[in-house]
Structure 1
Amino acid sequence: MVQKPATLKDVAALANVSRATAARALNSYGYVGDETAQKIQAAAEKLGYRGNRLAQALRSGQLPIVGCILGDIQNPFFARIAHDIEVLAREFGHNLIIGSSEEELAQEISLLASLRSLSIRGFIVAPTSEGNNAHLQGLVDENVPLVLIDRVAEGVDCDSVVVDNEGGARKAVEYLIGMGHTRIGLLQDDMRIFTSRERRSGYRSALAAAGIAADDRMVAVSQSTVEHAVDATIRLFSQKTPPTSLFTVDSLMTQGALLAFRSMGVSIPHDVSLIGFDDFNLATFTDPQITVVSQPVSEIGRTAARVLFERLTGKDEPPRKIRFETKLIVRGSVSRRGGV
């Protein structure tokens, strides 16, 4: 016959105390005399009483767990960020719960509410960047440590770790202009997203500084997936007068553009030049290798995690706004146009 697990009632009976006293001693709340507490603990050990320590710790916020909500966890950029945060969390003796908003505000709000119900100690979030940020401001108002990563959220004054998206995009487009290109295509994702807005701003400011009028026919909007980027690139370059070069706002779009050009029989850089924002593994395995705007991905996640754990250990200072610089890595995917 299987023996039933010991209950709080069993422990109280063996220690000859009330259940309330046994609960206080075993759950470390309220006052219990040392002698009585020792007697209760001995009874619990003798009976093999375990109790629901996990639930108790979750309710009290005592478990060393932090939460992380990112955009699309399938995106290599976010996958690397999650890995680096998890590594540093382990160094600080914490576990990490990761959620993916899939770039949907409703899902971000739902995930955050679910994790808040577990009394998780702090959060790292890549916000969808829509105007409704009450769920994030709620964390700030409750003094729950919050670090925004990759993006900022309007009206939410908290720690953040981002890169100079606008400056990076501007450097890429300036390089294309310097190589004689004036019909410069842009492959971007949803303008709700902070990074997409900033990278488009850098694209436009570089054109304006060179006296090149912005042309909506040179811009294609796509979801940030390889498949959607293939279709958007084909549409963009099927025009009567297509771009002579293309700037893509993330690595998945760059890969989609490469596949599209291959399917169309378009040669890089002979027929079209290409620069992508964010480096990726295949960028140096293609022929030619792809010129990219590189961001310090290995530093972004670890820096955000370090800031979070500084807050969790009591560091009290105004919100930190950390912004990393980007670097244009010139390879072989850009050719000079004639006459320059």
Structure 2
Amino acid sequence: MAEAGDRELREVVAAYVDHLVVERGTARNTVDGYARDLRRYLAHLADAGVSGVRQIGPDHVVGFAVALRRGGADRPPLAPSSAARALSAVRGLHRFAHAEGWTETDPAREVRPPSPARRLPKALPVPDVVRLLDVPAGEDARALRDRALLELLYSTGARISEATGLDVDDVDHAERTVVLDGKGGRQRLVPVGRPALAALDAYLVRARPALAAKGRGTGAVFLNARGGRLSRQGAWQVLKAAAERAGISAAVSPHTLRHSFATHLLEGGADVRVVQELLGHASVTTTQVYTLVTVNTLREVYATSHPRALG
């Protein structure tokens, strides 16, 4: 009977794989990956003494998910992304088996794949940020613009798209604030530090008028060489070029100065809810990923400084 049950399980898996190929048109690499995952699943069921598809319950699916992460004597644990893919294959198999009448219920319906691990934002150390901000040297229009852009990004934590979307009327020099248009049409008022405001004033007075004269008239703060609004890609190139000239070896992304802004505020003692407002996050849980960075820093300092940290 066990052999008959095993054969039935293999038939269900084979039918599901055919379904993926023929009816769903799933990519070959994905199908091959699912097939490997399902072979692993069948081995897990065999170890659990399951001999038929109707015997599989939610506990078996959960047990498989746990086994994926723990590994075994002859199987190393899977990375979170690989475990999530394997569980997705199992969920698809049971959804198919239920829809095709092989089973009366779907035992995997309530089993959710593990949440992907949150990647910690990459923030630059303060000395690296200072070196990067000092890179655009000179008094020509491009250098003044680039310095103002980089200073503003770090001073406000603005996304690059928010900085390039900034209009002249959005800057309040007297109050030292800017109005940023964030995601979902949400606006927020953010303070601007004195160095950033000085760089912005220098650009607006001594460089922007000459750039604007080449264009057709736009209210944008940051302009390109043709007098139009600087694009997000153009601003990203400014940041990337400045990082290269500053000799920064760490990977730099469009969000690098935003991440640095948030991390340095929290390391300086800022409340996470204040940082949430400054970043324009709808939920504080989005901001709290930065607290993981500061906790890791605290651990490193503790481990290298406390005389009994390793005891």
Tell me whether the two structures share a fold, i.e. TM-score over 0.5. no
Which category describes the TM-score, using the shorter chain as reference length? under 0.3
Scaled by the length of structure 1, what TM-score is found?
0.25
Whichever structure has more helix as a proportion of its residues is: 2
Structure with the bigger percentage of strand: 1
> TM-score, normalised on structure 2?
0.26
